[in-house]
Structure 1
Amino acid sequence: MKKLTVNKIIIDNGCYKAYVQENVELEKAQSLQAGNRMLVDSDGLAFVYILEDDSAFYYVSFPQETWSNLKDSYEQTASLMLILAEDIEIELTSIKEELSFLIENIEGNSNYGEEMERAVQEIFS
């Protein structure tokens, strides 16, 4: 398992693009696919999207600093693309459905921790 951290999300030609701070080797970037599922990192105040290949999972962390742009992409019909290496973009399929499910589950649920619950309500409610 490898963790990648999104450090910015921008709009480019009507499409949202998320950039990670880590360098991903071109060959590895080409082998990764959208995992169509998300998790919550309550301790790190982050949403985590899963990427996968034949041998491993990659956790793409969306820390709290990116949530306002993540919310914008969530509310639009545009795709959210993850930019990994030169010319390697992966569409984060099912992210809107997964994020909607997580937001709904977190609201009013202290199992995620008070800080996570409060942070999600501030941005997404």
Structure 2
Amino acid sequence: MKKRITILKANITENKLLLETNEPVSGLVPGEQILVDSEQYSFIYLMEGQKDYSFIVLTEDIWPILKNAKVQEIPVWVTFKEEQTELINFHDELEYVISNIKGNSNYGNEMVAKVEGIF
């Protein structure tokens, strides 16, 4: 079963965007891919575990800080307590999904409006 990992807090510090999670991320490897959950208005960064994928859920409430990090080209890291893992290829993937969503009603009009309003 795929695990959804929630972001509790997002902040830029020491020239990194730190996405603090609600559970450990050790043993997970960045999947270097972002998916779209247009029903929950979120982006999903894939992490690969030994047996299955885990989803880092990036809800719309943190999109403004994602945009800020993207504009400044700040690396994105997922953290839990002392653990930190860089989300490799994050900005390229985010740019790709944003460009696919803009003006594309296949994602639903509300998702398109939310993405266009922030990005």
Q: Which amino acid aligns with 2:93?
A: E
d(CA) in 1 for partners of 2:69, 2:47: 19
Q: Find the aligned partners of 2:26 and 2:58 in 1 and give their Cα distance.
A: 21
Structure 2 counterpart of 1:23? 23
Mapping for residues 26-41 of structure 1, pairs under 5 Å: 29-41=25-37
The 10-residue stretch of structure 1 (90-99 or 7-16) with the greater mean CA deviation from structure 2: 7-16
Give the 5 Å matches for 1:76-87.
76-84=72-80, 86-87=81-82
Aligned residue for 2:88, secondary structure, equals coil
Aligned positions of 1:79-98 closer than 5 A: 79-84=75-80, 86-98=81-93
Q: Which residue of 1 aligns with 2:108?
A: 113
Q: Percent identity?
A: 30
- What is the distance in 1 between the residues matched to 2:26 and 2:57? 19
Query: 1:77: how far off?
Result: 2.2
- After TM superposition, the score normalised by the length of structure 1 is 0.90
For residues 46 and 72 of structure 2, what CA distance do their matches in structure 1 show? Answer: 21
**1:73-108 deviation digits (Å, cap 9, x = unpaired):** 111122111002x32111001110111011100011
The question of whether the paired residues in 2 share the 8 Å contact of 1:15 and 1:78 is answered with: yes
Conservation of the 8 A alpha-carbon contact between 1:7 and 1:66: no
For normalisation by structure 2, the TM-score amounts to 0.94
Q: Partner letter of residue 99 of structure 1?
A: L
* RMSD of aligned alpha carbons: 1.0
- What is the total number of aligned residue pairs between the two structures? 118
Runs of 4+ in 1 over 4 A off after TM superposition: none
Distance (Å, rounded) in 1 between the aligned partners of 2:8 and 2:59: 8
Q: Secondary structure at the match of 1:62?
A: strand
Structure 1 residue 103 corresponds to structure 2 residue 98: yes
Unaligned runs of 5+ in 2: none
Distance 1:114 1:7 in 2: 27
